[in-house]
Structure 1
């Protein structure tokens, strides 16, 4: 067997354990544990104390963590919410986001902060649905008009960001026209796989087998989901698309097949355990280890890019939320703007792709990620203060936040 050291992975696992454990002692602090994990990676990595580095085991698990993160994000997309006027406003808002993002990208390109205004527009266009939903649940707004509007807008933005990033900035190369054709074929094939999975889920005999083995050591339902995830990641790679698109669509397929069923209530919890309990933290900590903070702190002009990107994020994603003002009111629309401007996973992913393609300097990538970190620390807490709290009736348990491992 080849000699492989797991020392760095051990330190990464300790960071993954310590971040939520420390936050657990201060439950009133609305700080996502992923922000603490990235900050710890920065402090202990090459930009800080230099105690932990990214070697082969850490890098491989980080890639799996990214795939599982996008898989879980796709799992949260509920197509039943995306309909009618709410869907129209969400799509219109995302179109406005891209326009504002393109203008911001042109401005930052003029300042020589990026070589691709379009990449910056896509980077600023997404909303982290996994960080938004817990805030809406805590405020008792998840099922109300405000919650429905924000969840629909966040779903469209997250899907659109992943799609555009994969289509326009694939590390596999090729022309955009060729990628469009490839994407159409890929989506058609994924739709066929999704239809086949839905039909298989309705087969009585197969359903009985899955039901009998789902909570045994076979864990058949979890294995099927993981096989679908890896299969679509490989398929996206073979088609020359970004693997994140395959992971995201795999989650969407599993979500459609699984949603509304009551025969396997622990299925989602098991997937969350694999993702948020093991793989996803490795990705975020590795992102912190790879950030070039020394270059960012080398000059005041470089450090000023962090608040500039944060303001751009608030404008690009926050302004479109005002489209909902007529239906949810001014105060709630301001809260929706803050929630829609909360973004981190896609920023981390997009900056890594941008650096790999030579479109983004590592210092600017670090500034963007820091802006995303600040958005997760500032915007949700402020939005929670703006939203009217609605406590559940006496005797009714308070709903548990989704993606609890992210907080």
Structure 2
């Protein structure tokens, strides 16, 4: 790699810093940071392509993909087991996990009904594939927005985070299995995705026992570099296992974060702060910028078929999330329930992955796939902004 190959990264560093400074001056507008990164990527794709040559950007795409995995890792790390754990004597409706399952069930029912309707419009589509596409929620957007609005540790924030986790986790598992078995049949390779759960238990026990040894206190506890390298090694191990099973690497990354969350690191724990600074300061912004950069708006506008699918898919994308959350109005208040429904309607990476899998399997058409990308962009831009404007103060 020559010096010139790093030029795109240098320009990204400068652009991201300038965007961050602009957003800092616009705090009154309540624009989510990730929204700014997406807009930055779209602007660079139109006005800065001369600075980014394709032959120099392949490795940058790989760095962007790692940013997604790291974001999934931090998302798993944010789970508060104390809030999710059922408290004796507490009402079931106060448990975020129970409510999250009910919201997911309601969304799944609506998504399947709407998928059946879309199948009547285009018989080449499969209702269950449309259901999976509509069920996705961008945990990569929900988690940073909740963190930015400082409500992630509240019961309301944990409810939204849990609902997003269930939507992404269940669809990730189903897509991981279906993606490799729909045409070739279910094999032991797809079944081996179940190894991730016992692996998590084994790693937890191993780390728990290691923390009691003198080696941990002498070589690891006082050396932040070794701790970070060990953590990245665990993340890499999950990545290898997911690759061997043919499942999605985002599933392994999330489980790795969940493993770390089980050790109950508080918000201001030095190690947790180091991980977040590394992620939100360097790796994750590159991922969001590249998502915006890779979207070709001109090509989309030239496709009448894709344009025709956007209004229908966009409306259904909001219906399957907002209506179930509205049922929680008596518990949360209608304003917060609606705001949460819009935030959960944010979709980005997983919905695009689901659409590409459906296209590869021949169960959705090209027009729907292109429209799904636009729906992902629109919901990623609008939903966090609507939520941030609706939540006036931290809960």
TM-score using structure 2 length: 0.81
Q: Which runs of 5+ in 1 are unaligned?
A: 392-407
- Equivalent residue number for residue 58 of structure 1: 60
Q: In the alignment, which of 276, 281, 286 is matched to residue 280 of structure 2?
A: 276
Give the drift of 1:240: 1.9
Distance 1:380 1:261, change over 3 A: closer
Q: How does 1:7-406 map to 2 (within 5 A)?
A: 7-45=7-45, 50-51=49-50, 52-54=52-54, 55-84=57-86, 85=92, 86=95, 87-112=97-122, 115-129=125-139, 131-132=141-142, 145-169=155-179, 175-176=185-186, 178=188, 181-203=191-213, 205-214=215-224, 219-257=225-263, 259-260=264-265, 265-299=269-303, 302-351=306-355, 364-387=368-391, 389=393
Is the 8 Å Cα contact of residues 77 and 155 (structure 1) preserved in structure 2? no
Is the 8 Å Cα contact of residues 297 and 303 (structure 1) preserved in structure 2? yes
CA distance in 2: counterparts of 1:224 and 1:95, whole angstroms:
38
Is the 8 Å Cα contact of residues 69 and 249 (structure 2) preserved in structure 1? yes
Deviation track 1:168-191 (CA, whole Å, cap 9, x = no partner) reads 335998534645521223322233
Distance 1:243 1:145, change over 3 A: closer
CA distance in 2: counterparts of 1:203 and 1:41, whole angstroms:
47
Is the 8 Å Cα contact of residues 91 and 153 (structure 1) preserved in structure 2? yes
Distance 1:248 1:3, change over 3 A: same
Distance 1:131 1:62, change over 3 A: closer
- Equivalent residue number for residue 404 of structure 1: none
Give the drift of 1:204: 5.4
Number of residue pairs the alignment of both structures matches: 384
Distance 1:267 1:151, change over 3 A: same
Distance 1:187 1:18, change over 3 A: same
Distance 1:128 1:30, change over 3 A: farther
Give the drift of 1:2: 7.9
Give the drift of 1:253: 0.8
Is the 8 Å Cα contact of residues 72 and 139 (structure 2) preserved in structure 1? no
Q: Which has the higher helix share?
A: 2
CA distance in 2: counterparts of 1:243 and 1:138, whole angstroms:
26
Is the 8 Å Cα contact of residues 190 and 247 (structure 2) preserved in structure 1? no
Tell me the secondary structure at the aligned position of residue 302 of structure 2.
Answer: coil
CA distance in 2: counterparts of 1:142 and 1:58, whole angstroms:
31
- Equivalent residue number for residue 89 of structure 2: none
TM-score using structure 1 length: 0.79
Distance 1:328 1:344, change over 3 A: same
Q: Which runs of 5+ in 2 are unaligned?
A: 87-91
Once structures 1 and 2 are overlaid, which stretch shifts more, 324-333 or 352-361?
A: 352-361
